[in-house]
Amino acid sequence: MREEQDPVDIKVSQPEVVADNPFWYVMIHLSPQWIDTMLDRECRGELSRVGGRASDPLLEPFSYYVPYLDIQADKSLDARDDFRNFVFLRGSEQRVRQIVSAEWNTKSRLHLYHYRNKQGEAIKVSDKDLNRLRSVFRQHYLRCFFGVPVQPLQGFSKGSKVRIRLPYWEENEGEIRRIHLRDGSKRASMRVAFIIDGLEREVTFPDLHEGDVEFCDLQTEQLLSGKVIENFEHEVAILLGHRFVVDKKLSGAAREAYLTEKKREDTPKLRRLLSFADIDIDDSDDRQRFAALMLMCAALLQDTAAVSRYRSQVEQSLKADGVGAYTQAYLTIALFVATRDPNLRTAVKAYRAAHPDCPAILTRFYNKVRDLRTH
């Protein structure tokens, strides 16, 4: 990767015209090499012209930048796949729309599409931001920079309310009727029901990738609005209750059947919560609490890699200087859920006894796990 002060390496047909547009549209494509080739051909007029003939004038110029090709020599990039999918386009809104709806894109197995915020708006960045991003590529996840998570496909299930981010369909909300994951859950085929002109229509999407599908149901919108931490706390408390609070009348096979069914129902919900792991949280105390919430979700999901990641964060926070007593208790209850160490639960119990007016959510968490069997 070149030094920070070097100009961004972009391709452009007529720079003096494109320079009038100060913004870059943030796009997604899953094959950086292929989209680089196609955009280069589009830029030179090989794919699209005003009248469709080779002798016709060129369409309005645009420029593009594929960061993965600029920094692919960085060996650490292989473990950070979210970098490779980003493309930046600079041009008028009409020209970008022409590229997205071009036949070579819509009929391709992989699609170039807009990266959007949770309100569904296309994200744009300035020249200054794009240059700043070149350092972010090496240091942070782009999902953190934009504050908008890409939903993992395994987070979706039958009945999920979704929006398909493909041309024609992205303005419609639908419900998944059937889903089949493949290629390590990186691809999926889905059958989705839409209401179009008052009639239900089921459509099969045979080859969807991460970023092609997003939740659009009220629950997800509410989760990311208002007081985000409190929203997540409420969801996690419910899921803890499903797993650890069982009617005492249930025993033996009936109890195991109940827990198995709850685990099946809760799995997509837990995956959904974990999919928001990279959202931006400004306050340091909130970031620590959020890591604790993610740890509890990972433990309930029995996701070993995620447990390891968030356990490390929680343990580091507990060792840090200046951590308040409440935050310590909050982190400790999450660590107990992950480790089942009875000493951790005892520590939280002692804190609650000494602080009877502590925030209600800690009491709620504690009550869910106070009878949990320990090692």
Name the domain boundary from 215, 248, 263.
Answer: 215
Out of 171-180, 216-225, 247-256, 258-267, pick the least confident: 216-225
Highest mean pLDDT among 188-202, 265-279, 291-305: 291-305
Whether 15 has a pLDDT exceeding 50, the answer reads no
Tokens representing 78 are: 């292989």
pLDDT at residue 7, rounded to an integer: 45
pLDDT at residue 2, rounded to an integer: 31
Claim to verify: residue 138 and residue 186 sit in the same structural domain: no
Q: Note whether 181 and 209 are within 8 A (CB).
A: no
Whether 267 has a pLDDT exceeding 60, the answer reads yes
Q: Give the whole-angstrom CA distance, residue 157 versus residue 159.
A: 6
Q: Give the whole-angstrom CA distance, residue 273 versus residue 287.
A: 15
Claim to verify: residue 139 and residue 157 sit in the same structural domain: no
CATH of residue 176's domain is: 2.30.30
Claim to verify: residue 339 and residue 294 sit in the same structural domain: yes
Whether 79 has a pLDDT exceeding 50, the answer reads no
Q: Note whether 317 and 328 are within 8 A (CB).
A: no
Q: ∠ CA(352), CA(354), CA(360), 5° rounding?
A: 35
**Backbone φ and ψ of 214, nearest 5°:** -145, 150
Claim to verify: residue 361 and residue 231 sit in the same structural domain: yes
Query: 3-state SS of 219-274?
Result: HHHHHCCCCHHHHHHHHHHHHHHHHHCCCCCCCHHHHHHHHHHHHHHHHHHHHHHH
Residue 197 CB-density burial (10 A; 0-12 exposed, 13-18 middle, 19+ buried): exposed
Highest mean pLDDT among 15-19, 80-84, 262-266: 262-266
Q: Note whether 163 and 216 are within 8 A (CB).
A: yes
Whether 281 has a pLDDT exceeding 70, the answer reads yes
- pLDDT 10s digits, 90-117: 988 888 998 998 888 888 878 898 888 7
- pLDDT 10s digits, 308-362: 999 999 999 999 888 899 999 999 999 999 999 999 999 999 999 999 888 889 9
Backbone φ/ψ region at 163: left (φ over 0), alpha (ψ -120 to 50), beta: beta
Mean pLDDT of the chain: 79
Claim to verify: residue 252 and residue 363 sit in the same structural domain: yes
Whether 232 has a pLDDT exceeding 60, the answer reads yes
Structural domain includes residue 3: no
Q: Give the whole-angstrom CA distance, residue 31 versus residue 269.
A: 30
Claim to verify: residue 41 and residue 139 sit in the same structural domain: yes
Q: Note whether 150 and 30 are within 8 A (CB).
A: no
Structural domain includes residue 307: yes
Structural domain includes residue 221: no
* CB burial readout 221-251, b (16+ within 10 A) else e: eebbeeebbeebbebbbebbbbbbebeeeee
Looking at the 3D structure of the chain, how many domains does it have? 3
Name the domain boundary from 130, 146, 162.
Answer: 146
Q: Of 305, 306, 300, which Cα lies nearest the Cα of 267?
A: 300
Whether 129 has a pLDDT exceeding 50, the answer reads yes
Q: ∠ CA(97), CA(68), CA(100), 5° rounding?
A: 10
Structural domain includes residue 1: no
pTM exceeds 0.85: no
Q: Note whether 269 and 300 are within 8 A (CB).
A: no
Claim to verify: residue 242 and residue 191 sit in the same structural domain: no
| 284-313 average pLDDT score | 92
Q: ∠ CA(226), CA(230), CA(236), 5° rounding?
A: 130
Q: Give the whole-angstrom CA distance, residue 221 versus residue 119.
A: 9
Tokens representing 161 are: 């309310």
pLDDT band, residue 5 (cuts 50/70/90): very low
Range of the domain at 178: 153-215
Claim to verify: residue 280 and residue 248 sit in the same structural domain: yes
pLDDT at residue 211, rounded to an integer: 72
Claim to verify: residue 244 and residue 135 sit in the same structural domain: no
Q: Note whether 10 and 63 are within 8 A (CB).
A: yes
Whether 77 has a pLDDT exceeding 70, the answer reads no
Instruction: Look up residue 82 and give its DSSP letter.
Output: G
Out of 204-208, 239-243, 251-255, 300-304, pick the least confident: 251-255
- pLDDT 10s digits, 184-229: 677 889 999 988 767 788 999 988 887 788 776 556 656 665 677 8
pLDDT at residue 169, rounded to an integer: 79
Structural domain includes residue 109: yes
- pLDDT 10s digits, 134-175: 655 544 444 444 444 566 777 788 888 888 877 677 667 889
Claim to verify: residue 157 and residue 135 sit in the same structural domain: no
Query: Up-side HSE of residue 188: CA atoms within 13 Å toward CB?
Result: 24
Transcribe 123-155 into DSSP letters. Answer: PEEEHHHHHHHHHHHHHS-HHHHHT-PPPPGGG
pLDDT at residue 109, rounded to an integer: 77
Structural domain includes residue 97: yes
Claim to verify: residue 67 and residue 126 sit in the same structural domain: yes
Claim to verify: residue 142 and residue 166 sit in the same structural domain: no
Top pLDDT among 20 and 97 is at 97
pLDDT at residue 139, rounded to an integer: 44
